[in-house]
Amino acid sequence: MRTPIEIPLWNDISKAPYYRPEDGTTQEYFIPREDGGNLAIDRLTNVVNPTITIYKASTYKPGPAVLICPGGGYSILATSHEGEDIAAWFNANSITAIVLKYRCPDRRDAALADAIRAMRLIRSRAAEFCIDPEKIGVLGFSAGANLAGRVSNMPTPDEIYAPQDAIDSLDHYPNYSFIIYPAYFYEEGYNLNPEIKITERTPPAFIMQAEDDKPYVDSSIAYFVGMKNASRPAELHIFPRGGHGYGIFRNGNPTQEWPDLAMNWFKREIMQGKPFIG
């Protein structure tokens, strides 16, 4: 893997949307692993300076790229197994990966502004990083999958923040999405949360979850039903067991098959299929 490049999302963080005065002195930190948490998971919190980190694929011509949104309940970012490890997997498949460090904890509007800005910033520098601007996707886990769904279904991004510069004139919609064990989509009757407005611009989706992922599994079903009702292409995989929050770990559960299924879907539907044009 090449040396990653970290880029700030906002020219002046003090003028970024949803900036708070205390952001100037808040320090981000990793929650100590000695607190009983999973020793394989890095958990970053108090994020006030959002960035993207680009892991460029070894390629000689413009190729696909994916913005990765780690999960963590909008409280922390699981930056290792739902961020860096996923970037390595994409790079191994000749895909440039971009890990989003979005603001948290409990800053859902700021996180959405960060995701919208990240998609636009990637497009603005696509040539620099040998990226095909019509093959930029998004992948998210849990709360990060919720964020990926929100940025994929945001018809009026100016409601989230006013344009700040020329970058904000660029399209924020991903060209495809990987929605991995999503959270917070579901309402009674497999209805989507009203903040998710699926339209003809919503990108194709690969959706995956485990049946024993309580209470979140209904989020995947609701997103798929919403895509179906809007005649948008989607592939859904529900496994009998696997739980939640495993990223790309091979833990012996059926869900460990998802990376192969996702990559097969990507090659078949996105790289070989008709390009998605919003």
Start-to-end CA span in the chain (Å): 32
- For the chain, the structural domain boundaries read 5-271
Share of the chain above pLDDT 70, in %: 95
At residue 32 the predicted structure's pLDDT band, cuts being 50, 70 and 90, is confident
Instruction: Tell me if the domain spanning 5-271 has CATH number 3.30.70.20.
Output: no
Determine the Cα–Cα distance for residues 6 and 102; give it in Å rounded to an integer: 13
Predicted structure pTM score: 0.95
Give the pLDDT mean for 137-154. Answer: 98
Q: Supply 149's token pair.
A: 């769904």
Which H or E run contains 85?
Answer: helix 85-92
Q: Which residues pair with 234 in a beta bridge?
A: 205
pLDDT, position 251: 87
What's the pLDDT tens digit per position in 170-221?
999 999 999 999 999 998 878 899 989 999 999 999 999 999 999 899 999 9
